[in-house]
Amino acid sequence: MGTPPWVAGLGDPPIAHAMAEMRPAIDALGAASAAVMGIYGSGGGDAQKKADGSPVTEADLESHRTVSRALAATGHAILSEEGPPAALGAGETAWIVDPLDGTADFVSRTGEFTIMAGLVRSGRPVLGVIAQPAAQAIFVAQDGAGSYRGHGGSWERLRAGPERGAPECRAVCSRNHLSDVDRAVLARLGVAETVQVGSSIKACRIAANEADIYVTTTDRMKQWDTCASWCVVTEAGGRMTDALGGELEYGAGSVAHRHGIIASCGGRIHDLAVGECRAALG
């Protein structure tokens, strides 16, 4: 299945020296978006349980196959949530892929699911692409070149912030995995507004200055949940760390982020959230 018109019609993002992998990643996620929406529109997508208890659907698997076939042409290793375990070398260049982020939202038919691919070099994300098929939107970011949203035939530069005091901040939180600890942290921060949103759309809203802070203290986040989002948020001027303020690690070692995630517009609200999470998690 080829790139859908809403992706192909965008052309290349306005980056002076786009990485060679940028267009293949956009086209790969475009093709996967078409496949996923075909299943979504047909009413398909019943979930099965994986060994770890998380849901998986036909759309997850078809998206994985589509993205993996397309990105294989770049010659880089691929670590995908729905693929076989892969041990990446410390200095290896590799794709980290979430074929369907927000499977529960896909099944619940909220439209709030995404497809993500991030490229890592020497343990650091350097390229991120996130497709939001139901909204016909795509987000791209490249190391040192900014973050952009493509929608309606044109590209828009994204900038997080500006920094706000906690009482003026808008928080986004998980629709399906919000814990009592997360609620307590947000309450202690005293943010003005909290909205539940599915998948990596939370990070995209922060990059687009449509939200200011996202906090999750779960120990179940994986590298494919954050790799592309890290690029989109940080290249928009925001910040993403684990919930204790540590840098997120990619590539070699465990795929799990054991200490949660904080994504923000940056500045003092991020540091305050880290402090509250440290207090809550001991």
In this structure, are residues 167 and 272 in contact, taking their beta carbons and an 8 Å threshold? Answer: no
Distance (Å, rounded) from C-alpha 245 to C-alpha 206? 18
CA 126 to chain centre: 14
**pTM (2 decimals)?**
0.97
Helices and strands in the chain, H and E counts: 8, 16
Beta bridge partners of 257: 221
By three-state DSSP, how is residue 154 classified?
Answer: strand
CA atoms within a 13 Å half-sphere pointing along the CA-CB vector of 122? 0
In this structure, are residues 100 and 57 in contact, taking their beta carbons and an 8 Å threshold? Answer: yes
At residue 134 the predicted structure's pLDDT band, cuts being 50, 70 and 90, is very high
45-102: per-residue pLDDT in tens?
788 988 888 889 999 999 999 999 999 999 999 999 999 987 788 789 999 999 999 9
DSSP H/E element including 264: strand 261-264
1-40: per-residue pLDDT in tens?
678 999 999 999 999 999 999 999 999 999 999 999 999 9
Phi first, then psi: what are they for 156, rounded to 5°?
-125, 130
